[in-house]
Amino acid sequence: MNKSLINSIEALLFGAGRPLTLSEIRNILNNNGGTIELSDIKKSLNMLEERYINTSIEIQEVASGYRLNIKQEHSSSLGNIWNDKTPRISKALMETISIIAFKQPVTRGDIEDIRGVSVSTRSIRSLLERNWIRVSGTRDVPGRPALYSTTKDFLDDLNLKSISDLPELPEITDDSKDDFLSQVV
């Protein structure tokens, strides 16, 4: 495999600051006068993955494409030097995004029915501003409420390739509810 191609792809992933699809990588490289095939890019990515096996860096495939990432076991040591700390997510916001992720597309009313409390406009706005959710349509009922779904940015931030990579929710049966209630009461 051409070392120049591998190094060019590595530089693109390092400099992009966001995931790149195979097509984006090919288009960028071909704009520089080449005729690179997707299969060559995939092989180069595999060779980069092998190169990084014993390092703190990895190539990660997420919903939006491929990116360079710090391996999980090394990321905690960087917390002290990064100034832009990730803002904490409130319990209400976590519940809201979880419902949207597992039940999408959902309306605000659906979320409120599941949570048992009203959903603040601020929570929805916060998720929209983070680009974790989007309005994916409207429900065909009076008032035509907005339907919310998760975005690729949400999947990327959770290091997931697709929504199917989320862990499965445990099945809730009448027996499991009774067991839970007996433990609480």
d(CA 138, CA 145): 5
Please give the DSSP secondary-structure letter assigned to residue 81.
Answer: T
d(CA 183, CA 171): 18
| Residue 154 CB-half CA count within 13 A | 22
Question: How high is the mean pLDDT of the chain?
Answer: 85
Written out in words, the top-level CATH class of the domain with range 91-164 is: mainly alpha
Question: For residue range 68-100, what is the model confidence (pLDDT) as tens digits?
Answer: 988 888 777 776 665 555 567 888 899 999 999
All structural domains of the chain with their residue ranges:
3-72, 91-164
Residue 185 has pLDDT above 90, yes or no: no
Written out in words, the top-level CATH class of the domain with range 3-72 is: mainly alpha
